[in-house]
Amino acid sequence: MFHYIQITGGNKYRNGYQYKITNLNEDNGLNISIENALRQTLETIKAEHSKTVGQNQLTNSQTIENKRKTSKTTAK
């Protein structure tokens, strides 16, 4: 709601600010187009992420085994 109130004049120290309430419907078209663009971008990111996660996913046991093989502090 804060972005619908604009300061149109006045002074902080004298009489205070003068405010104007903007039309709530002016920005509606812009908001809808921004939301659609963000939604589409998020879907693209999700799709690309699901492709890469499926290809390179390692289990915890695999990473632990690799660490043990390369560790210099492993007891012999």
Average pLDDT over residues 35-40: 93
Three-state secondary-structure class, residue 29: helix
CB atoms within 10 A of CB 27: 13
Q: How far apart are CA 52 and CA 43, in angstroms?
A: 15
CB of 8 closer than 8 Å to CB of 18: yes
pTM: 0.39
Task: Give residue 75's pLDDT band: very low, low, confident or very high (50, 70, 90).
Answer: low
Per-domain boundaries in the chain: 25-54
Task: List Cβ neighbours of 8 (8 Å cut-off, separation of 6 or more).
Answer: 18, 19, 20
Task: Give residue 23's pLDDT band: very low, low, confident or very high (50, 70, 90).
Answer: confident
With CA atoms as reference, report the closest residue to 22 among 36, 2, 39. 2
User: How is residue 16 annotated by DSSP?
Assistant: E
Task: Give residue 42's pLDDT band: very low, low, confident or very high (50, 70, 90).
Answer: very high
